[in-house]
Chains A and B, each alone.
Chain A
């Protein structure tokens, strides 16, 4: 582990976390969406850093290419120009939110640092897509098929709910 690799980790971590913080504070909702985009890109970088090449690119395609477009589309449909600061955040919930967040963070950090994670030999970093395809068609065949039904429901359900009127026969 060289100094630069360590530095890269901290850079990627900052890319994931700092834009996340900005989502909490940004006044313009569209800006918040772009901060989320940056944060997701940071996570994609962390995947690559972990040697999960397939996942890193999937993250870019599904999240940044798909889900974010959907969200920005939703924002554009529902966005109104005049937004006062009071409409952005519920001030009265600030204290409960910080307390909840603090408790969860403490608990999670405690778990992370106290747990003895099941150790194993470290793996070589190699391209993984072929093996993943093979596993998806063998051991993980059923989850793969079920995921396709989940997507079908998402597709049909989304159209069904958002459709303007009862369809005429």
Chain B
């Protein structure tokens, strides 16, 4: 670490330059992404004479290269750029999840008929900037870096949500997202600055000692709470979940799909890293007055989880628009995943693995569901649930695949959703959070109703028209089937949960 000096010390500078070289070796995926985003923007601005798909290919290729580089990252955990980022298997896993989500998002954008004939250069450039922000979120260990990564992801998301410029609801969704989002980030920054004053350090790892020393300090609790509130906004968790339905409905479907998986994954990655450094297992929390009520972080997160899933599920019952319904379902799932975070125990990482595995499952499931929504709305020109009447006979393949995805969202075997939920519930029960597991069970039962309602519309109700729709295009078939396969396969592989077994945090 360099100290600020009055005069440039050449020796220290040479050491620093070699340090940057070392850091860059673990930073290639992000660098490739950054270069691609500039290339896409420049290509669209300078070279593109007609509405071509080249920008989509460039974005896809760059993301694919970045994903390949993520798998080639050195496995030894270390710190990059003077403690700004961590290179560990934890961040590598989440980066891979985010990049896979991005590949699908690019394909979904091309699939959506609304985008035919539109020039998408800026859209793809800004989408890649959002991905870059989310990848940095997954690996930040310094609070200024966390703030910048969250802001990069948020700002880019506001822009791509407004992508359907001709539509009224698109810009209204973007406005709501942006205006509440800036308040959420101000809250988070307030928390960060209070923590800075208490620790004198911006490193997340520095919280570990402080967490125990100030275990019962109300001020510390409020500061951490403010940071968590900012993160809850990105996770779509209570009490910062209210933006979700409007934004999910108003955004282009591909963007909704992207936000529902990538944004959530990145936010949970930060939350896990942050909470792990607080070590919630060691009875830290907020003490209200002396000898009075003691709230530990486990209970606070557990209550947030229970409220989040209940609110999401209850509101989802009454929805008529499928994107809005999936938005509330996404809130409910944030609640289920928080259950795993509440069960976080630094010593054995049980809740940790359950969360990581569930996020992977949710990635394929939710992207698949939205892929079907796009395939259907390409033909039916509607996103209302009513429009799914009689779809079982008129579009048999998408209807069948949607059934698989909805089963996985409910958590029914033989889909990966079952395995993922099983791991989350087991983590909660192992931790002794029986009431939370019961709440989760009740909520799952409630959610069956609104997922099944779609199935009822598709298979049991007839529409006036009986003629089958034309089969979806090749891209649509490949995407939906390709996303359904992991949802089924992970059910069997999930018991082993091989991928998430060896996750470890730096520090």
Using a CB–CB distance below 8 Å, which chain A residues touch chain B? 107, 110-112, 114-118, 120, 130-132, 134-135, 138-143, 146-147, 149-150, 152-154, 156-157, 160-161, 163, 166-167, 169
Contacts and interface: CB of A to CB of B under 8 A. Distances in A.
A152 B197 CA distance: 31
Nearest to B16: A138
Nearest to B34: A149
B85 A142 contact: yes
B8 A118 contact: no
Nearest to A161: B162
A147 B147 CA distance: 10
B43 interface: no
A157 B166 CA distance: 16
B159 interface: yes
B199 interface: yes
Give the interface SS of chain A, mostly helix, strand, loop or mixed.
helix
A111 B174 contact: no
Given A115-B197, A149-B132, A157 B2 contact: no
B125 A156 contact: yes
B312 to A, nearest CB: 24
Nearest to A112: B219
Contact of B151 (A131, A138, A150): A150
A20 to B, nearest CB: 15
A153 B159 contact: yes
A146 B152 contact: yes
Given A150-B152, A153-B159, A156-B125, A161 B219 contact: no
Given A157-B158, A169-B49, A138 B82 contact: yes
Contacts of B16: 138
Contacts of A118: 197-200
Interface of B: 1-2, 4-6, 8, 13, 16, 20, 23, 34, 37, 41, 48-51, 80-82, 84-85, 118-119, 122-123, 125-126, 129, 132, 136, 142, 144-145, 148-149, 151-152, 155-156, 158-159, 162, 165-166, 171, 174, 194, 197-200, 217-220, 222-223
A90 B478 CA distance: 51
A147 B13 CA distance: 23
B219 A141 contact: no
A161 B103 CA distance: 24
16 contacts: A107-B222, A112-B219, A114-B218, A115-B197, A115-B217, A115-B220, A149-B34, A149-B132, A149-B152, A154-B155, A156-B159, A157-B155, A157-B159, A160-B159, A167-B119, A169-B51
A112 B222 CA distance: 11
Contacts of B171: 161
A141 B218 contact: no
A134 B4 contact: yes
B220 to A, nearest CB: 8
A78 B8 CA distance: 50
B197 A146 contact: no
Given A134-B2, A157-B122, 8 more contacts: A107-B222, A111-B223, A115-B217, A115-B219, A118-B197, A134-B8, A142-B85, A156-B126
Nearest to A142: B81
A135 B165 CA distance: 41
Nearest to B45: A156
Given A111-B219, A118-B198, A131-B4, A169 B152 contact: no
Closest 3 CB pairs of A and B: A157-B159, A115-B219, A111-B219
Most buried by B among A112, A132, A147, A157: A157
Contacts of A131: 4-6
Given A131-B4, A142-B85, A156-B122, A147 B49 contact: no
B219 A166 contact: no
A163 B20 CA distance: 40
B129 to A, nearest CB: 5
Contacts of B222: 107, 111
Given A111-B222, A135-B4, A146-B148, A160 B49 contact: no
Given A138-B82, A143-B84, A167-B119, A117 B152 contact: no
B156 A157 contact: yes
Contact of A146 (B118, B123, B149, B198): B149
Contact of B136 (A112, A146, A163): A146
Contacts of B197: 115, 117-118
Given A118-B199, A120-B200, A149 B129 contact: yes
Contacts of B220: 115
Nearest to A111: B219
